[in-house]
Amino acid sequence: MITQYTLSSEANVTYNPTDKVPVYLLRHGETDLNARGVLQGSIEEPLNAVGRQQAQAAAQTLSGLGIARIVSSPQSRARQTADIVAAVLHSSIEENALLRERDWGIYEGRPIGERDETGAGVELLSHLNSRACQAFESITADLTAPCLVVAHSGLIKALLAQLCGQAPDVVRNGEIIQLMAQRNA
């Protein structure tokens, strides 16, 4: 299943899917830390068996959509997901460091419920929002075919909030989101 989000006319980016090609966002598959409710941020953690299955299922959903370009966060869980998808789609992968997950500083490795926006080392939300838009601009500047962006929950939510004016509370592991043009634009 692919969830669709409509770009806001207020979005401060030059991408316009009415005259460019589709962009799909994919959250990486599950890791053991995800399964235990632990905040990962910059912690490197490989996909677990469920995460590999989620990546394979996403690849099957995305096959046939003409995706010619995959851009991934360099973090191992996203890159592993991208590798699995790329094998099915017969596509190469570009890494973009701007797609990395939000740095949660002292809260990394702790239960998600303990996080706080103001702790030591926590990346400011305004910086995450700016970084997410900068990544999106760099990826969509020269699109000629459908593109898949493999990233993390925090980055995807920041991007959706900036581009669409709304974001879900949760982006599930393996969830696919398609960015859509405004219907009345």
> pLDDT by residue (tens digit) across 5-63?
877 767 666 665 545 678 999 999 999 999 999 999 999 999 999 999 999 999 999 99
Q: What is the pTM of this model?
A: 0.93
- Computed over every residue of the chain, the mean pLDDT equals 91
Percentage with pLDDT > 70 across the chain? 91
By the 8 A CB rule, do 44 and 152 touch?
no
Query: What are 86-103's pLDDT values in tens digits?
Result: 999 999 999 999 999 999
Give the residue-averaged pLDDT of 110-134. 95
In the predicted structure, residue 141 carries a pLDDT above the cut 60: yes
Is 141 strand, coil or helix?
Answer: coil
Query: Annotated active-site positions, please?
Result: 28, 101
DSSP-H helix ranges across 10-64: 32-35, 49-62
pLDDT score at 145: 87
Q: Domains of the chain: which residue ranges?
A: 2-180
Give the residue-averaged pLDDT of 139-148. 88
Q: Report the largest interatomic distance among the alpha carbons of the chain, rounded to a whole angstrom.
A: 45
For tokens 């998808």, the residue is 85
2-180: CATH topology: Rossmann fold (3.40.50)
By the 8 A CB rule, do 79 and 73 touch?
yes
